[in-house]
Amino acid sequence: MGMVENEFLTLLRHYLDKPRHAGELKKMLPPKYGTSFNRLVKPLIKSGEIVRIRGGRYGLPDSMNLVIGKIMGHPDGYGFVIPDDRDVEDVFIGPRNFREAMHGDTVVCRVERTRPDGKRDGKVIRILERAYKSVTGIFESRGKGGVIIPTQKRVIHNFQVHPGKTLKAKGGEIVVGRIVTYPEAHDIPSAEVLEILGYPGEPDTEKGVILQEYGLPTSFPEKVEKNADKISEPAEQAFRGRVDLRNEWVVTIDGETAKDFDDAVSIKESAGGFELGVHIADVSNYVIPKTPLDTEGYKRGNSTYFPGSVIPMLPFRLSNEICSLNPNVPRLTLSAFMKFDPVGNMLEYRFADSVIKSRHRFTYTEVAKILEAPEEEKDAEKVKNLLMMKKLFLLLRKKRIEEGSLDFDLPEPFIVLDMKGEPENIIRAERNDAHRLIEEFMLSANRAAARFLSEDVSLYRVHAEPDSLKVNEFFEFAETLGYVSRGNPDDLHRRMQEIISAAEGKPEEKLLNFIMLRTMKQAQYSPTNIGHFGLAFEHYTHFTSPIRRYPDLIVHRLIKQKLRGEKSSEADEDYLSQAGVHCSQMERNSESAERAFVDFLKIRYMANREGEEFDGIISGVTSFGIFVELAGVYVEGLLRLTSLADDYYEYHEKKHALIGKRTAKSFRLGAPIRVKVNTVDMMKKEIDLVLPGSVPGIGKPRPAKKGKGKRPSSRGTRRKHK
């Protein structure tokens, strides 16, 4: 929002002491705003800053008990309005008060009742913006037409397809339809088929469904590809004025399958300590603000990674070729040079435009092997530099932990795909000292970038302190497992570290790490620097991945402008605030899409394993049953309460357990359990479990109502904090 718009909104807020007509407001406002009233007020109505009510009057939503936000629908017909203001509580919307709204729509709702516990009930009174222009679902033939039944359970309306608009889709196929008419009071919504994705259960089909559901693009617009194709390999004239590192020992260290290398590292001895160089692809040299490339990169916000494929933020011409720090070719970079003393204190740092020629394309496995057995490596330079890097990495990690950083090391599944894209195996993703080394160096570079920009307007990666209520619940739960924090109550980092350290190497370690991570708030991007709680850093940003994260590209531009003493177009707090919100939302969207596809592949992997028994760990306890993570395959299934026939079980929320009324037998979070895979439902994406020895047909779960049997989601649940 620019200066004119801001001033207009401020004046409106002042004059709207009560709802007023447009004509009345035009007379009260200065002439320059009165004549532009219609143009200026339209985006404010769309964003929900101002609402238009009956009689053509305008008012402030807060003053009329109105809430603006997005609808989060539930398969059973009710939902919640999630306010744009994250400090405002959600509003429950019952089925009768949903009106014609759909999941994801931006709406105005009126709060009609506040319960004694503070929770609010409301009614949708206006739809400001539709979330979906298309619908993805299973096609059912009806005469010469048909019906699309949405695959996304939160979208509860079926869409009629008129004859001639089916694209000859067959019953049972998954299709994408363009929404022609939206739900109305007495009319069925309609759509026309635009694309046939295939039959359910196939990896390519399911990926297509996920791309549609999360609004992820399948290709770049032609003008963006043309923009990228015009960019040529860097020539000698592009190296002028840059620090020339082409003859230095600079290397990349990445995974075996990586193709977009946006960071390289170097190291030297310096006054008894170390000089670490972190050299990042200079994407900002090629992606110019407000060009088609830049607009598309901002829109995507980040790259999205699926097993075996990627939806890149930038075209492959840039991400895999010109910007990628491939070995033995010159590449433009922005370098952070950091000097550390012998115990790992960062003494100084500087940034510079540079050019490198990567000496080696290391994999994590190669580096880990050299670090474990350096005597077996013949290249003395590799051994010397990698051992020096390991020494620095260990110092940096030790110091970071001492300063209160919380280091979560949760196992991540790695899905092995065969040549057809089918899941062949699920194993634990490898994480060795080479991974940790690069992570530590990237943390240092990000920290230096945030410090460099700390006196200017910038974009930070921030992480707020968790809510005290959730923290107390975590410590209470840890205590039930025998882990008691005796540290200073005011030193939350130390108390949490105490639990992590005490559980290290024990059966409860993974569970406690997971529950602790769930108490955390989500990290996000913001120009307001509140620090990073999880890392215990006062200054932190994202600088090291501009090929795949737009916020890093913004930070690069800010650094380069500061180096030149120029004012950046990005150095505007309003712009950075909007960009921070947008990029944070796109990050969550990508994570959700990635998780959805991984979950599908897990279900697919288990499809032919009905009847098999597994040892597992209880990973979730709810009022309707327990979730169990199966050992060795990192797959989660549900043991329903209705399948437990030996007793009546009660849910004890505080104890995270189901406890039998008669036997006092308990199913407690984190406890080991042996289960049998009963059914695998590819359509519902569910794995039903039973206890071994269960008699078929006895204690077997009844068909769940639509939407039941899913783990309850929480706005605070998150995967990552860095």
Strands 91-93, 120-129: pairing is parallel
Q: Longest Cα pair distance anywhere in the chain, in angstroms?
A: 85
377 and 242 belong to one structural domain: yes
- Whether 673 and 694 share a structural domain: yes
Same domain, 423 and 281: yes
Instruction: Report residue 86's pLDDT band, with 50, 70 and 90 as the boundaries.
Output: low
Token duo for residue 171: 């019953």
In a domain, 585, yes or no: no
Contact 708, 624 (CB under 8 A): yes
- CATH number, position 15: 1.10.10
Give the bridge partners for 147, in sequence order.
Answer: 140, 160
Residues 6+ away with beta carbon under 8 Å from 21: 55, 56, 57, 58
Residue 720 has pLDDT above 60, yes or no: no
Q: Answer yes or no: is pLDDT of 158 > 50.
A: yes
pLDDT digits (tens, 9 = 90+) for 45-84: 777 788 887 777 888 887 778 888 899 998 888 999 998 7
Contact partners, residue 115, CB within 8 Å, separation at least 6: 121
Alpha helices in 16-71 (DSSP H): 22-28, 31-34, 37-47
Confidence bin at 14 (pLDDT 50/70/90): confident
Q: Minimal CA–CA distance to 131: which of 109, 158, 110, 154?
A: 154
- Reported for 268-271, long-range contacts at CB under 8 A and 24+ positions apart, including other chains, are 269/388, 270/339, 270/340, 271/339, 271/341
Task: Indicate the SS3 state at residue 65.
Answer: coil
- Between residues 528 and 24, which one has the greater pLDDT? 528
Q: What CATH number should be reported for the domain holding residue 169?
A: 2.40.50.700
Contacts of 58 (CB under 8 A, 6+ apart): 12, 16, 19, 20, 21, 22, 25, 41, 50, 51, 52
Any residues with CB less than 8 A from the CB of 69 and at least 6 apart, and which? 48, 81, 82, 83, 84, 90, 91, 106, 107, 109
Kindly report the backbone phi and psi dihedral angles of residue 639, in degrees, each rounded to the nearest multiple of 5, phi listed first: -100, 105
Q: Give the end of a domain, one of 563, 595, 628.
A: 563
Q: Show the DSSP H helices in 167-323 as ranges.
A: 203-213, 222-229, 292-300, 316
Determine the pLDDT at residue 512: 87
Predicted confidence (pLDDT) per residue in 265-275, tens digit = 999 998 889 99
> What was the pLDDT predicted at 705?
38
Beta strands in 182-259 (DSSP E): 190-198, 243-245, 251-254
Instruction: State which residues form the domain around 102.
Output: 65-129
Q: Look at residue 3 in the predicted model and tell me its pLDDT.
A: 66
For residue 505, the tally of other CB atoms under 10 A from its CB is 5
**Predicted confidence (pLDDT) at residue 383 exceeds the cutoff of 90:** yes
The domain that contains 689 carries what CATH number? 2.40.50.140
Strand pairing class (360-363; 251-254):
parallel
Q: pLDDT tier at 695 (50, 70, 90 boundaries)?
A: low
Q: Is the confidence at residue 635, as pLDDT, over 60?
A: yes
Contact status, residue 357 vs residue 329, Cβ threshold 8 Å: yes
Place of tokens 């008894």: 272
Q: Is residue 699, in this structure, part of any structural domain at all?
A: yes
The verdict on 85 and 180 lying in the same domain is no
Instruction: Report the distance separating Cα 196 and Cα 208, nearest Å.
Output: 10
Same domain, 385 and 282: yes
DSSP state of 239: G
Residue in the block written with tokens 């002439």: 31
Predicted confidence band of residue 322 (pLDDT cuts 50, 70, 90): very high
pLDDT above 90 as % of the chain: 64
Cβ atoms of 496 and 536 closer than 8 Å: no
pLDDT band at 694 (very low <50, low <70, confident <90, very high): low
Distance of alpha carbon 23 from alpha carbon 32, whole angstroms: 14
- Residue 425 structure tokens: 């195996």
SS3 507: coil
pLDDT attached to residue 644: 92
Confirm whether 308 is domain-assigned: yes
Alpha-carbon separation of residue 374 from 251, 371, 385 (angstroms): 17, 6, 11
pLDDT higher than threshold 80 for residue 408? no
693 burial via Cβ count (<10 Å: 0-12, 13-18, 19+): exposed
At 572, is the pLDDT very low, low, confident or very high (cuts 50, 70, 90)?
A: confident
CA distances from 601 to 305, 483, 597, 634, 683 (A): 14, 36, 6, 11, 13
Q: Is the pLDDT of residue 711 over 50?
A: no
Same domain membership, residue 149 and residue 123: no
DSSP state at residue 326: -
Residue 377 lies in a domain: yes
Last residue of a domain, one of 129, 149, 166: 129
The size of the chain, in residues, is 722
The residue-averaged pLDDT of 139-150 equals 95
**How many domains, the chain?**
6
Contacts of 188 (CB under 8 A, 6+ apart): 157, 158, 159, 160
pLDDT reading at 87 higher than 70: no
Question: Does 361 have pLDDT greater than 70?
Answer: yes
Distances (CA, A) of 441 to 194, 258, 336, 390, 543: 47, 18, 11, 10, 12
| Contact indicator for 367, 267 with CB cutoff of 8 Å | no
Pair 500, 483: CB distance under 8 Å? no
Around Cβ 429, how many Cβ atoms within 10 Å? 12
The answer on pLDDT for 493 being more than 70 is: yes
Please indicate, yes or no, whether residues 443 and 319 belong to a single structural domain of this protein.
yes
Q: Which of 660, 610, 653 lies closest to 635, judged by CA?
A: 610
With CA atoms as reference, report the closest residue to 71 among 141, 12, 129: 129
Distances in Å between the Cα of 606 and the Cα atoms of 82, 397, 636 are 35, 39, 10
pLDDT in tens, 235-287: 999 999 999 999 999 999 999 988 899 999 999 998 889 999 999 999 999 99
Q: Encoding tokens for residue 494? A: 């130390």
pLDDT band at residue 477 under the 50/70/90 scheme: confident
Question: Which of 26-35, 418-427, 429-438, 449-458 is predicted least confidently?
Answer: 26-35
- Terminal CA-to-CA distance of the chain, rounded, Å? 29
Distance CA 319, CA 328 (A): 17
Same domain, 379 and 474: no
Tens-digit pLDDT profile for residues 165-197: 999 999 999 999 999 999 887 788 999 999 999
**253 backbone dihedrals φ, ψ, rounded to 5°:** -135, 110
The verdict on residue 294 lying in a domain is yes
The tokens describing 362, both together, are 């290391």
Q: What are the structure tokens assigned to 244, written together?
A: 């020339």
| Three-state secondary-structure class, residue 119 | coil
One domain, residues 53 and 118: no
* Tokens of residue 564, six digits: 């030149």
Structure tokens at 378: 């013949």
Answer whether residue 384 shows pLDDT above 50.
Answer: yes
Q: Is the pLDDT of residue 296 over 80?
A: yes
Confidence of residue 722 (pLDDT cuts 50, 70, 90): low
Q: What is the mean pLDDT of the chain?
A: 89
Same domain, 276 and 236: yes
Q: How far is the C-alpha of 389 from the C-alpha of 434, rounded, in Å?
A: 10
Are both 168 and 274 inside the same structural domain? no
DSSP assignments along 315-368, one per residue: -HIIIIIISS--BTSEEEEEEEEEEE-TTS-EEEEEEEEEEEEBSEEEEHHHHH
* Nearest-angstrom CA–CA distance, 389 and 410: 24
pLDDT(707) > 50: no
Q: 289 and 399: one domain? A: yes
Contact of 613 with 675, CB cutoff 8 Å = yes
The mean per-residue pLDDT over the stretch 544-555 comes to 98
Tokens 């952070």 -> residue: 336
| Residue listed under structure tokens 């033939």 | 141
Q: Is 227 contained in some domain?
A: yes
- Band of the pLDDT at 366, cuts 50, 70, 90? very high
The reported pLDDT for the residue numbered 704 is 37
